[in-house]
Amino acid sequence: MALRIPDKLLQEYKRTARTRWQAEKALTASRRARAWELAKQAAELLRRDYQVGRVVVFGSLTHPGRFTTHSDVDLAAWGLTSANWLKASSAVRHLDENGDIEINLVDTACCSPELLDAVERDGVPL
């Protein structure tokens, strides 16, 4: 025997589900815009303070359909050194004053060849 849900209750469920979906979509769009802003700020900081020559954003931020409210920012940088990578990584992580969006920094000089290939293939230069 199948459970019969009254039409009025089903319509209410659909309405609230649509409202939640629209709110989630708006929040994701806002968060994605903020993530791009942070990525650009990080690239500027890395060039200015750490003499990095090239910065590329990769991962979910470069794919609108994959970016969610839980996504982070993935950056690859060319020109970091073993002496400044940790400081640079810390500096970019602290760009988001709210701490809502994590920024991960990859030093291309010591990442795996597979990751470097993915960055080169799918990344967006900043």
Domains in the chain (CATH in brackets) are 8-125 (3.30.460.10)
Dihedral of CA 113/74/29/41: which sign?
negative
Structure tokens at 46: 């890395």
**Higher confidence at residue 99 or residue 114?**
114
Q: Are 96 and 50 in contact (CB under 8 A)?
A: no
**Helix (H) and strand (E) counts for the chain?**
3, 4
Q: For 5-58, what is each residue's pLDDT tens digit?
A: 778 877 777 787 688 888 788 888 999 999 999 999 999 999 999 999 999 999
Q: Are 73 and 38 in contact (CB under 8 A)?
A: yes
Q: What is the pTM of this model?
A: 0.85
Q: Among 58, 59, 52, 61, which residue's Cα sits nearest to residue 34? A: 61
Distances from the Cα of 3 to the Cα of 6, 17, 20, 84, 114, angstroms: 10, 20, 25, 63, 51
